[in-house]
Amino acid sequence: MLDLSQYRQALQLDENHPFHAPDFSQEEMDALVKSLVAQTARLENRYSSQPSLSPRQQLYARLISCPPFSLSEDELEKTDLLLAWEQSRKAATGTADLAAVFEKRQFSTKMALWQGDICTLKVDAVVNAANSQMLGCFQPFHRCIDNVIHAGAGPRLRDDCARMMDLQKTLEQTGHAKMTRAYHLPARFILHTVGPIYESPALHSQYADLLANCYRSCLDTAAAIPSIQSVAFCCISTGVFAFPNEAAARIALDTVTRWLEEHPQRFSHVVFNVFLEKDLRLYQNELSRR
């Protein structure tokens, strides 16, 4: 597997490329969207051709399903304006807004549970539950975390993932982690990890080890960049990969707690981000049990 040092420069991970939201009105942004829809007509597909879709939805469907390097630099720059403008109108949640958990534990001030959209978290790095191709979902309107993160970050993310995978020349193995910039998300970096696909309860212990490796690999990778002090985890493998939610929550808490105990000088905040109500209850129950 490709090590961080082998793709860090190719993806310009150490360079800061801020995006500034344009001072446009809603009418000007609507005109920009229509212009992009016309300009990207060659990317029309069965998802974006539905007559019921708005121009913004058509553009979303094209962007999320197009192959890497499909857009010209002019199209990328216009898309950057649109995404920066949209992001500037969303409320971001920072680590100072999150309630700490494990009040009686040594690392209580480092770990927090939060329910909401991970694409609104203003942390140094967020975790994406990716697939082995590491290029995103490609299925518009599919509500997997991979899709949501690629849509929020923008098409430059897929281009970076493709550059990274071209260097690796093989699919990503389960339990490993890769890092890219986060582009239009409030976060600075994205940690992409492939969780285990839960196909047989008889192999639970094997899947559990792989899931724990995902959490460790993300923390190890993030720790290699000193400026990363906060990391937010999604619920890895519990969606379409079907890992049992309760067991996954227990593995996540155990693994991260143990890692922090072994690396007491690293990270100021680790966030367990849940989206579904059932995951919130499971994490709360597990925390109460402890």
pLDDT tens per residue, range 226-257: 999 999 999 999 988 989 999 999 999 999 99
- In this structure, is residue 47 part of a structural domain? no
Q: Is the pLDDT of residue 105 over 70?
A: no
- In this structure, is residue 72 part of a structural domain? no
- In this structure, is residue 1 part of a structural domain? no
CATH of residue 148 = 3.40.220.10
- In this structure, is residue 241 part of a structural domain? yes
Q: Is the pLDDT of residue 149 over 80?
A: yes
Whether 118 and 126 have beta carbons less than 8 Å apart is answered as yes
- In this structure, is residue 277 part of a structural domain? yes
Give the pLDDT score at 49. Answer: 83
Range of the domain at 135: 92-289
The percentage of the chain sitting over the pLDDT mark of 90, rounded to a whole number, equals: 83
- Structural domain count of the chain: 1
- In this structure, is residue 12 part of a structural domain? no
User: Phi, psi at residue 48, to the nearest 5°?
Assistant: -85, -5
The percentage of the chain sitting over the pLDDT mark of 70, rounded to a whole number, equals: 96
| Residue 100 pLDDT grade (very low, low, confident, very high; cuts 50, 70, 90) | low
Instruction: Sort strands 189-194 and 177-181 into parallel, antiparallel or unpaired.
Output: antiparallel
Give the pLDDT score at 101. Answer: 60
Q: Is the pLDDT of residue 106 over 50?
A: no
Q: Is the pLDDT of residue 108 over 70?
A: no
Query: Phi/psi class of residue 223: alpha, beta or left (left: φ > 0; alpha: ψ in -120 to 50)?
Result: alpha
Q: Is the pLDDT of residue 112 over 70?
A: yes
Give the pLDDT score at 48. Answer: 82
pTM of the predicted model as reported, rounded to 2 decimal places = 0.94
- In this structure, is residue 172 part of a structural domain? yes
List the alpha helices (DSSP H) in the chain: 4-7, 26-39, 55-65, 73-88, 145-153, 155-168, 204-223, 245-262, 277-289
- In this structure, is residue 128 part of a structural domain? yes
CA-to-CA dists, residue 263 to 4, 125, 142, 220, 259, angstroms: 19, 18, 37, 10, 6
